[in-house]
Amino acid sequence: MYQRAKSENCPVSLDELKQWNYIESNLFDEKLKTCLYAAIASAESHANIIIWPSTFTLALDHIEHEIPVFACPVSSISIIVDGSPLAASLYQFDGNVILVDGSVQGSNMTVTLEAGIDPMDDDIRSAILLISSELFRNPTDSVKQLPTASQLLLQPFRRANI
């Protein structure tokens, strides 16, 4: 299973969320951050894409020649076999799977992917702000689905489950 490490910078800032909601005080900052992070996770799940730029690492104690990739969009891939970088000519990425040349041998492999939306599209940013605002205003479990406007804003970016 891939391990995810999110970049330090949230793709939508707390200040943007506060401006969106006309909030000037710092009184609700922790609650707003929680809502913002949950909104990003919800948008990622709905669109089936990685929004928050992240590094995904898969460590294997064997060599795989077909490695499924769920993260999208992928900006870079690196593979290390037995402690040495694998030449890019020995693998290819088709969008869903990394195909490693059959000649590659070894006892362990580490695959590292960089994925996420950068720069952030305005429609995705607006969807996240709408979702986080809804979560902030309705803290009880009354939010049963994403706000309609958010769903519509995320629709063009949706990636089908394969």
Q: What is the pLDDT of residues 86-118, one digit of tens each?
A: 999 999 999 889 999 999 999 999 999 999 998
Answer yes or no: is pLDDT of 142 > 60: no
Tell me if 162 is assigned to some domain. Answer: no
In Å, how far from its chain's centre is CA 60? 22
| Same-domain pairing of 45 and 61 | no
End-to-end CA distance of the chain: 17
Q: How many domains does the chain have?
A: 2
Q: CA of 19: how far to CAs of 15, 27, 56, 58, 114, in Å?
A: 6, 14, 32, 38, 30
Helix (H/G/I), strand (E/B), else coil: 53 = coil
The residue among 156, 146, 130, 148 whose CA lies nearest residue 45 is 146
Tell me if 39 is assigned to some domain. Answer: yes
- What single DSSP character describes residue 121? P
| Same-domain pairing of 69 and 42 | no
Tell me if 59 is assigned to some domain. Answer: yes
Instruction: Give the mean model confidence (pLDDT) for residues 40-52.
Output: 93
Range of the domain at 73: 54-115
Give this prediction's pTM: 0.84
**How confident is residue 133, by pLDDT bands cut at 50, 70 and 90?**
very high
**How confident is residue 143, by pLDDT bands cut at 50, 70 and 90?**
low
| Cross-strand partners of 146 | none
Q: Rounded mean pLDDT of the chain?
A: 91
What is the maximal distance between C-alpha atoms in the chain? 60
| Same-domain pairing of 42 and 122 | yes
- Report the percent of the chain where pLDDT is more than 70: 93
pLDDT per position as a tens digit, 144-161:
666 788 888 888 788 765
pLDDT of residue 95: 84
φ, ψ (nearest 5 deg) of residue 65: -105, -15
| Same-domain pairing of 45 and 78 | no
Say if residues 2 and 110 touch (Cβ distance below 8 Å).
Answer: no
Answer yes or no: is pLDDT of 162 > 50: no
